[in-house]
A and B are shown apart, each in its own frame.
Chain A
Amino acid sequence: MNEIYFNAYAGYLEGVVRGYRDGLITAPQYLNLTQCETMDDLKLQLATTDYASFLQNEPSPMSTSTLSARCTDALVAEFQYLQQNAAEPISKFLDYITYGYMIDNVILLITGTLHERDTHDLLEKCHPLGFFDTMPALCVATTVQDLYSTVLVDSPLAGYFRECLSAEDLNELNIEIIRNTLHKAYLEDFYAYCQSLGEPTASIMSDILKLEADRRTVNITINSFGTELSKDDRAKLYPRLGNMYPEAQTRLARVDDIDQVKAILEQYSEYKAMLVGVSLGASSGGTGANDVTLEDRFFAREVQFNKDSFEQQFHYGVFYSWLRLKEQEIRNVVWVAECISQQQKDKINNYTSIY
């Protein structure tokens, strides 16, 4: 019955977001991008895409960071158009999407303040989607209590902060714990919200968010090897959802090295297929030309889920999926640009193709 009233508040936006999806860079266009020799060539090729109007006024020797910033501007402009035209149920969904960026911004600011960086530089680095009014005030906070009572209590993130308040002072480890706890609370809350929206949004978003939860679980496990994080604390950081919750998570909480993680993952048919040919040791940037990291495989799978969400009409998942696909596309373009500017053409094909 969802079909008969969905379009009353989201029909226009769904049409618009599907239009955005059609503007994503396709495989032949990627092929053209990878053939480029210089950044100017790349810029010329990108002029045929939706990024054209954002890149045309850039002076000619364009750096990769400028390219990345302009592409993000394009993404933000499109998302804000959606937000400005959204009415109640859909606007809340879009707000939920921005909470993830807010968390990243908060963590960026706290980390920057800890390292005594300039506030203005930090604010420029923040993701525009996660901007909220009291954010600049974050730079003065020195303890977690301060952070909460002066700034975050008025932001939408207040509810997520409840579990972090036990941490006493802000150091590297605590910030990392806060980041993961916030993301965990956010994921669980977003998942519950999506379930309350009913079918088909619930089932589509549940696939995507469960994968996200599993990815976080695996990343937390791998990144906690060799740190002072205790195993009990590690288990507390896992999101309480996903395909691996709760059975595999309790076992992942106790493992000590990467081979045990692999053994646990291989019990899941979908992850077993993902692990084939993956070099688990190097999770940050491969060494050879054809090295595939687990992260890349997760991205590829996420892209698959997000593409699937466009196969159905009359649900909110498309808004989330489009944003994730667009982000993946920006990562791809930046990757290609990096390879071109650093003359590393042998790795240029390591992007995750979307369409």
Chain B
Amino acid sequence: MGRVLAARLARLVATLFAVTLLSFLLTSLLPGDPAVAVLGQDNIQNPELLAEVREELGLNDPIPVRYVKWLGDAVRFDLGESYINRGQEVSDTIKQRLPVTAQLAVMAIGIALVLAVPLGVIGAYKEGKWQDSTTSAAAQVALSVPNFITGIFLIWLFAVKLDLLPASNWNRISDKGLSANLKTAILPATALATTQMAIFSRLVRADMIATLKENYILSARAKGLGDRYILMRHALRPSSLSLMTIVGINFGALLGGTVVIETLFAVPGLGFRLINAINQRDILVIQGITVFVAVVYVVINTVVDLLYAVVDPRIRRG
């Protein structure tokens, strides 16, 4: 186990290095001049001022030099400061925005799992029967509707028609308390959850159908165990490995990819900030958020890899 862990960590570091390099290169290739964005329309005619700003931001250095400088700061958790909002540290922005996005992602995955696991299990247990075709059809619909459409529908239903929940905006737990916070979080989280739920339930169903054909399931039946007991205690765990993988990947994706939903619901999360930064060519913010999300993504997937061993004892002796 110790050796496995060490190998994983080494791989993690290598991946992180590649991720930072790539995202740095990609953001450097973005069209538009950050100095122009900093100065605004009025001052771009002044070449001296422009050169001064470029020098100050370090934009005249070659890309490798800028990368090494940036990386040197980044490993000390200093991601630089925003070009546009001077004095605002990128790491502070992330610290402030992350809880919002993380809450949405956790809630979305949570809602999706709570619904998807039973649905997937029922689909597999009743394979080919009406329960299976109904849940499969529902999953198909949920998969094919983009989640901003789901979001708009939810706003129309719960905010406009029923007037139960606010259409947009965000209440922080620290300011307004948990229930006010949940009122603003539930709709965007649900909108994000529908797609995830569809994916998860399809996965559970497929893996479960394969598991139910295993000899040990027959042998459990021959012991006179009830169907529900067999499904939950014998079949679910061996059927959850691909689910775990996808949950990990999608959780990482949600952290960086809730842009549309955050914009739709005016949620002040990472994605919302990222879009602003892109619009403003605020390179260090873009880089900071991108790298941060990538790092979280890689870390989560490493954790998931290690969790396999918890679910399947055969992997423990790697």
A binds B: no
